[in-house]
Structure 1
Amino acid sequence: MCADIVIIGGGPVGLWSAIQLKKRDPALDVQIYERYEEYRRSHILKLEHRALMLYSKSVYDLPEAKFVAAVTGDNPAKIAKSAIDGEQVYIRTNDLETALKTYAHDLGINISYEKIDSPEEAEARHPECKNFIAADGAHSTMRKALMGENATKDYPLQYVVEIKYEAAGKARPLTVAENLKVNKYLSSMCFEYTGREKDGKTPVTLRFFVDEKTYKSLPEAGFKNPLGLDNKHIPPELAHDMAAYMQARKEKIGEVYKQDSAKISKLELSLYRAKRFAVQKRGKNWFLAGDAAMGVPYFRSLNAGMIISSQLGLILTRRLLSGKAKIAAYNAVQPLDTAWEFTAAHGKNMALNIYDAFRKAGAKMSWKAQKHRKNRNRKGPGAS
Structure 2
Amino acid sequence: MSAGEQEDPVNGWRTAVREFCERELRPHAVEWAEAGRVDRGLWRRAGADGLLCADVPTAYGGGGRGFAAEVAVVEEQARVGDTAWGFTAHEVVAQYVLAGGTEAQRRRWLPGLASGELVGAIAMSEPGAGSDLGALTTRAEPDGDEFVLWGTKAFVTNGGLADLVVAPVMVAGALSLLVVDTRAAEPGRSPVVKIGRRGQDTVDLCLDGLRVPAADLLGGEVGGAAALSMPLMSRERLLIAVAAVAAAEAVLAEAVAWSRRHEVFGRRLIRHQGTRFALAECAASTAAGRALVDDVVRRHVAGGVSPGDAAMVKFWTTERLFDVADRCLQLYGGLGYTAGHPVARAWADARVTRVYGGANEVMREIVAASLAGGAHR
Q: TM-score range by the shorter chain?
A: under 0.3
Which protein is bigger by CA-based radius of gyration?
Answer: 1
- TM-score normalised to structure 2 length: 0.25
Whose strand fraction is larger, Structure 1's or Structure 2's? Answer: 1
Q: Identify the structure with bigger relative contact order (alpha carbons < 8 Å, sequence gap 6+).
A: 1
